[in-house]
Amino acid sequence: MSTSRRDFIKILATLPLASSSFASDGHSEKNGDLASNGTSYSVLMDSTLCVGCRKCEWACNDKNHLPNKDISTFEDTSVFAFRRRPEVDKFTVVNKIQSLKEQQTIKIQCMHCLHPACASACIVGALKKQECGAVTYDADKCIGCRYCMVACPFQIPAYEYKNVLTPKVQKCSFCVDKLEKGEKPACVEMCPNEAMTFGTRAELIEVANSRMHQHPEKYFHHIYGEYEAGGTSWLYLSQIDLRGSEFPQLSSDPIPKLTETIQHGIFKNFVPPLALFTLLGVAMHSLKDKDRD
Amino acid sequence: MKARPLNIPFFTPGVWIVFSLALIGASAYLYRMFFGLAEATNLTNSYPWGIWIAIDVASGVALAAGGFTSAALAEIFHREKYHVILRPALLTAMLGYTFVVIGLLADLGRYYNVWHPMIPTMWQGNSVLFEVGLCVMAYLNVLYSEFAPIVVDRFKGKVTFKNEYLRQKTEGLLTFLDKFFRKILWVLIIAGVVLSCLHQSSLGTLMLIAPTKIHPLWYTPISPLLFWLSAVAVGYPMVIFESLLASKSFGIKPETHVLSSLAKIIPFTVGFYFAAKVIDITIREAWPFVGEGSLQSYMFIFEMALFAIPLILLTQEKIRQSVRGLFISSALVVSGVVINRINVFLIAYHPPYTEEIYLPSIYEIAVTVGLICALVLVYRFLTINLPIVTIEDGE
Amino acid sequence: MKKIIFALSFISIQAYIYAFVDNSNPTNCKECHTCDKPSTQALCLHPCPRHETTNSNKHNLSEGPGIVFFKDIAEHFTPVKFDHRAHADMSSLGVEKCNFCHHFTPPGKIQPCRDCHTKNSEDLKRPGLKGAYHRQCLGCHREWSHDNKCFSCHENTDKKTPVDPSDKSDIIANAHPKIQSPQTLVYKTPYRKAPIVTFHHGQHIKSFGLQCVNCHEKFTCGNCHDSDPNKKKKRTMQQVHQSCDKCHRADNCSKCHSLKEMAPFNHADKGWKLNYPHSKLACKECHKTPEEKPKKECKFCHKTEWTRQNFNHNSTGLKIDAAHSMFECSYCHSENNTFKVFCNKCHFDGRDPKKKPVGEYLTL
């Protein structure tokens, strides 16, 4: 009896160490800091300035060594008949805004959320929100569970289903290597009309607001991504309300807020599982004694 | 009354059918391994999860709940008469989780990295899947450790090596293992229950990360509680279901009196789950969605009915006493939980930007059916060769 | 008792989990304001020259450069040869003139784009040189051609074959042709009672002294040069009437609508057939407001004290001979009504200068 008591205490002592990882909610707090600090980069995409030349698609393919075609072929506007989605071989697409009669286009890519659901979902931390603002993917860690694709509210990550042995999750990386060198993402550099502005998030929100105030007739008064899903690094201005049209209608809560709250609630300082363990242990021992009586 | 190996042939005509289905499944499994997910499955960027997750993993884990629920009943709360169901339930749980992992490996794009979540540098505490993964992995070890004494039991004192030295050493090792496992068994049992509670509920948290994609009938913050309650609810029906099936298949008399008294608990567990579900829908004011006439609403009604019918049936003493009544009502609860898991992971999942829907490919179906059949075969093989089933004396 | 405790704990677990969900949705000031504490004095708006400065300079077409060669930012495409003169000529048709493109022009010489729009702009609110060029060009060109073709301006992407900036042969540098203005337009409208509307376009321009832009507001190149035949804009009832309503009162339909084509306005119908030079005047020269009815009296408009010496009677169309030119004005004309003429002071045969054909001499 005494030996098993000692064992019991030993196990009690080792368990929290083993799983302290999900017992603390330090990770989400760190993400919260990222949202507010000034070094996190953003892009403001003004869809009223997008001319639909699709040169950003060419630049993205070029930068990421994706299958690419001659630059002149990107002037083909027949693709606007469909609402295309980012794929494993194209991280960004320019789509026609479906609800508008005239040809007005908008660029779609990873939104680089401030509280990315994909990164919260990732079982091995292959997807990460970097200090610079990019949500990056590390294929070497990935186990290929595709939970990130379930989690993403913008339906961005694409999967190399056709790759038998080393399939990857593919999405825009915000050109993180260029960002770290102090350069702009390839698409932003390429855009002839400067429909995209690159800067820190706070600056860009101010730019967006001043544009809306100066041309109230030109813009729908809303910055998509300022609060959606707890904020995204890519911000959008448009002549229409993008909520529920080109982008989903999202609350200002970070997408992973509920799951993280539950998860860290269940593992709060590892108390609930240990309490259950102790309770069951006590029940087991006391009921056994009673049985013998 | 002691569990012992069965003296029956492995192959019967029925087993041959199951065996061929398992073989087809194995070929489909190999097809996926050689030609990749694109060839073998209908998964897309919009629907990254299919029946391999919904049935093989989520339902598989739920149906293996018999292991921890009966362990809790017999070992922790010391209802000694239920000891006879312990070993079959443990075997079901062990095989269930083993096949969950095998099924999961088919679904993982980089299955060879499946060990990554164990490496501390890759721990990701925010991920619900990480929690489920670690718990399942730990629980699998607990199950194997709990099962080890049964294997030891089978061979202890019966080692027939010609070489006397080797025989003695093997016997010595078996005796040591027997002692060791007996000593730590109580830790294993409690740990098993705790781990089960954790990951059974966390499976319910999984889909909460997609608030915009999950139908409001199933998107509830108490989803983990519902998953845990349904796992508890399906534990005993699964034991009854599997016990009745096995006794029919093995040609032995079912333990009707044990199963009947076990069935007494079911109305409470299923009732709690059902009540929680009704309260949840009421609090969230989601009843209008039940009547919206969509596939989702019909599936919800179907799922609820699969719980409501056995809930009523099993309150009847007469039905609890009859083998057929027990079998039908427990089968209903089992299918209710399976439908619930399919609903949460597939039917409720509605991705944006697409009109297409997901239907499993023949390879996906073949693998799922094949895995179930393989599980049945291994179950049969182990029950024949290891002391699992307790047969009443005089049989 | 056990059951009650069990039920209570069960409900409390549910309540506990519900408590996780935060439904609060605070109103956010930042939805409208960029700074933390906006006030009526400081609305957090940054001035931009585009909207602050207007050009008071008047420049001649010839002052601007002929061909501009944009080569500062050529990266993926060849540089663009831009015929500044032709574009300046086009923009001279509009109200904005040079300002149509040069939106910020302090007094003096007009600044080139790159003075403000640098290649790598640090100011996020100001487009860089590339953006400024493209936005300026695409503003008209996209409206005009409805495509996203880069090659309308950029010759090709092949940088190995450089473009010769001195070669002006491939640039169509014609001045904008003179716009033909229609005299009379007859519209058939859906107004059943009186479907025909006759619009005397020429008379409007002449009589009211109008410029094109006075009516054709906000017209850009694309209004005429629109390659999309489907884009014929359907105008609403209100829009159709808008340009007429500005002067004509909308409540009187028959003013414009009738059953047949209407003749142009004739001043003679109002009792005064206008001769030269009055026939050359715009309406407002005499009618200060549309309602004003000036007296048919020279003094009403002409403030000059006319005498025998300073008035050339020949300009009225009635020439007078030397004998008559000896009289003071008032000898023949009534003091209060210039058009009342007395011949009977001398002639007693009832003669009247009005019956004299115009251009003939009035003789004794």
Number of C-alpha atoms within 13 angstroms, CB side, residue B207? 31
**Quick check: A87 contacting B, CB < 8 Å?**
yes
Confidence of residue B57 (pLDDT cuts 50, 70, 90): very high
Q: What percent of chain C has pLDDT over 90?
A: 0
A193/C135 Cβ within 8 A:
yes
**Quick check: A226 contacting C, CB < 8 Å?**
yes
Confidence of residue B295 (pLDDT cuts 50, 70, 90): very high
| pLDDT at site A146 | 96
Expressed as residue numbers, the domain containing A128 is: 27-258
With respect to residue A154, please indicate whether it lies within any of the assigned structural domains.
yes
Confidence of residue A289 (pLDDT cuts 50, 70, 90): low
Q: Strand A196-200 and strand A41-46: pairing?
A: antiparallel
- Chain position carrying tokens 């009896």: A1
pLDDT, tens only, A152-180: 999 999 999 999 999 999 999 999 999 99
With respect to residue A287, please indicate whether it lies within any of the assigned structural domains.
no
Q: Which two tokens stand for residue C233?
A: 């804009």
* Nearest alpha-carbon partner for B392 in B247, B277, B279: B247
Instruction: Delineate the domains of chain C, giving CATH numbers in brackets.
Output: 51-152 (3.90.10.10), 185-223+234-265 (3.90.10), 295-364 (no CATH)
Asked whether B63 and B245 are in contact (CB, 8 A), the reply is no
Average of per-residue pLDDT across B189-193: 93
Polymer length in residues for chain A: 293
pLDDT of residue B43 exceeding 80: yes
CATH class of B13-385: mainly alpha
DSSP 8-state symbol, A93: E
ipTM: 0.92
Average of per-residue pLDDT across C143-153: 75
At position B280, the amino acid (one-letter code) is D
pLDDT of residue C292 exceeding 80: no
The residue in chain C having the minimum alpha-carbon distance to the alpha carbon of residue A264 is C20
Name, of A22-26, B270-274, C126-130, the range with top average pLDDT.
B270-274
* Nearest alpha-carbon partner for C44 in A200, A208, A240, A46: A208
pLDDT, tens only, A138-150: 999 999 999 999 9
Label residue A146 left, alpha or beta by phi (over 0 means left) and psi (-120 to 50 means alpha): left
pLDDT, tens only, C168-194: 566 655 667 777 788 888 888 888 888
| pLDDT at site A8 | 44
Sequence-ordered list of residues with C-beta below 8 angstroms from that of A276, at least 6 positions apart, any chain: B193, B194, B197
What's the CA gap between C13 and B275, in Å, rounded?
A: 14
What's the CA gap between A74 and A77, in Å, rounded?
A: 8
Q: Which residues face A137 on adjacent strands?
A: A127
What's the CA gap between B394 and C10, in Å, rounded?
A: 45
| pLDDT at site B97 | 96
With respect to residue A156, please indicate whether it lies within any of the assigned structural domains.
yes
List chain B domain ranges. 13-385
Preceding amide of C229 cis, omega within 30: no
| pLDDT at site A10 | 45
Q: Give the gyration radius of chain B's Cα atoms.
A: 22
| pLDDT at site A23 | 45
Average of per-residue pLDDT across A207-216: 92
pLDDT of residue C285 exceeding 90: no
C45/A214 Cβ within 8 A:
yes
pLDDT of residue B22 exceeding 90: yes
At position A288, the amino acid (one-letter code) is K
Q: Read off the CATH number of the domain in which A101 is found.
A: 3.30.70.20
* Longest CA span, chain A: 90
**More confident position, B219 or C14:** B219
What's the CA gap between A141 and A201, in Å, rounded?
A: 29
| pLDDT at site A61 | 96
Partner-chain residue, chosen from B110, B113, B205, that has the shortest CB–CB distance to A263? B205
| pLDDT at site C16 | 60
What's the CA gap between C187 and C358, in Å, rounded?
A: 38
Average of per-residue pLDDT across B121-148: 93
Name, of B170-174, C72-76, C334-338, C343-347, the range with top average pLDDT.
B170-174
| pLDDT at site C164 | 64
pLDDT of residue A20 exceeding 50: no
Q: What percent of chain A has pLDDT over 90?
A: 67
Cβ-based interface (< 8 Å): residues of B facing C? 221-222, 224-225, 272, 276, 279-280, 283
| pLDDT at site A27 | 42
Q: How many domains does chain A have?
A: 1
* Core vs surface per residue B352-362: b (16+ CB within 10 A) or e: ebeeeebebbe
Question: What mean pLDDT, rounded, does chain B reach?
Answer: 92
**Quick check: A71 contacting C, CB < 8 Å?**
yes
Rounded to two decimals, what is the model's pTM?
0.79
Select from A4, A21, A25 the residue whose CB has the most chain B CBs within 10 Å, as the one to mutate to test that interface: A21
With respect to residue A88, please indicate whether it lies within any of the assigned structural domains.
yes
Confidence of residue C142 (pLDDT cuts 50, 70, 90): confident
pLDDT, tens only, A219-273: 999 999 999 999 999 999 999 999 988 999 999 999 999 999 999 988 887 888 8
pLDDT of residue C45 exceeding 50: no
